[in-house]
Structure 1
Amino acid sequence: MLTWMKRGSLLACLALPLPVLAETAAMPVDGDETFLPGFTCLAPAAGTDGPIICEALISQVMPPFYFELFWQMDEAAGERAIARIAIRQQGTAESFQVIENVDSQTFPDIENNGFEVIDLNFDGYLDFRLLAQTTAGPNVLYRNWLWSPRDQRFDGNQALDEIVSPEFDPDTQEITSRWRSSATEGGVDIHMWEAGAPVVIHRETDRYGERGCTRTFYDRIDGKLEQTGEGRCG
């Protein structure tokens, strides 16, 4: 772990703007366009166990945030587990939020456990996520935290955590999930946000059998996902 002297020096440095960390300049926002600034992370020196430190802008009207990802090695699994995340604003030394029970564990060669800032709920503020685990299959899960302008903090969203391999489209405000449940079944789900939670509004399921592949269509009707069609895949 860092000594108090080293940690104090690091925090003092990070209280100042860090041009060396800036990967992408903040872009201006017109009307209802989503704000798209950059983010970057600084890994600890080789052979040390200091936190991974990430800098990110989540809004054009707020100062940069610093995320300290405290981790430990799971020697049996050979994976890096994020134990907690401390978050503070640029120019301050104290964290305004500490997130425990992060539940992100990946192989060390996955940079920063997949840390990323992205507008997950299309409200104009950027949120952040981490990979939940290392996976060799098509179903990738994340741990997600949404920025709450009202509470001035990041809140986890369990429903979003359960969506595999999500892709976010700010133009349509849809979340696309491409999943596979077995060697003979897979599909695509389209989600939209309703009352603070992502819900499936359309599903296409492909099933492979002796007669080839059948695609079944489902749509959300009166709050329920109903089968609306069937045909050949492709």
Structure 2
Amino acid sequence: MRKTLLILIILFSFELYSQEIIKFSDAEFEFCLTKKCGETDCEITKIEVLKNGILTQTIKPSKNYFSKTFPNDQLFAIEDMNFDGKTDFRLMEFLPAGPNVPFLFWIFNPTNELFKKKQNTKK
């Protein structure tokens, strides 16, 4: 009886979570996002950038969170953010109560061929 009780206590003491890999791509890059979920919220913990199937960059995004029920296809967007003709991307930072959704941005640097996080500027 004690052994069974101990096993049950150990099993219920672990935090339940799940992990998923979400993939997005365009003509040049593939982005593999690692999504980790707790009981109600999720977070993107890692973004791997592949070019021609080869890993070129691993990005650890700053804090971001969203509901478990939020659709994956609305978390991430591949767009030319600075109108230079190069691929850039953005990740939803969190889902606010209002209509203005904040994003984390990465801009492609053609000099070193890596994505650089664009810092939000507040005035």
TM-score after normalising by structure 2? 0.74
Letter in 2 for 1:56: D
Letter in 2 for 1:82: I
**Aligned mates of 2:89, 2:53 — CA distance in 1:** 21
- 1:126 alignment counterpart: 87
- 1:114 alignment counterpart: 75
Shift in Å at residue 159 of structure 1?
A: 2.4
- 1:69 alignment counterpart: 33
**Unmatched tracts of structure 1, length 5 or more:** 1-47, 58-63, 163-199, 201-234
Q: Give 1 or 2 for the bigger CA radius of gyration.
A: 1
Q: For residues 2-41 of structure 1, what are the structure 2 equivalents within 5 Å?
A: none
**Unmatched tracts of structure 2, length 5 or more:** 1-17
Sequence identity percentage: 29
Structure number with greater CO (CA < 8 Å, separation at least 6) is 2
- The correspondence for 2:45, drawn from 69, 79, 83, is 83
How many residues were matched structurally? 105
Letter in 1 for 2:20: G
Shift in Å at residue 84 of structure 1?
A: 0.9
Work out whether residues 107 and 117 of structure 2, in 8 Å CA contact, stay in contact via their aligned partners in 1. Answer: yes
Aligned alpha-carbon RMSD (Å):
2.1
Shift in Å at residue 118 of structure 1?
A: 1.3
* Alignment of 1:101 onto 2:65: no
Runs of 4+ in 1 over 6 A off after TM superposition: none
* Alignment of 1:54 onto 2:24: yes
TM-score after normalising by structure 1? 0.41
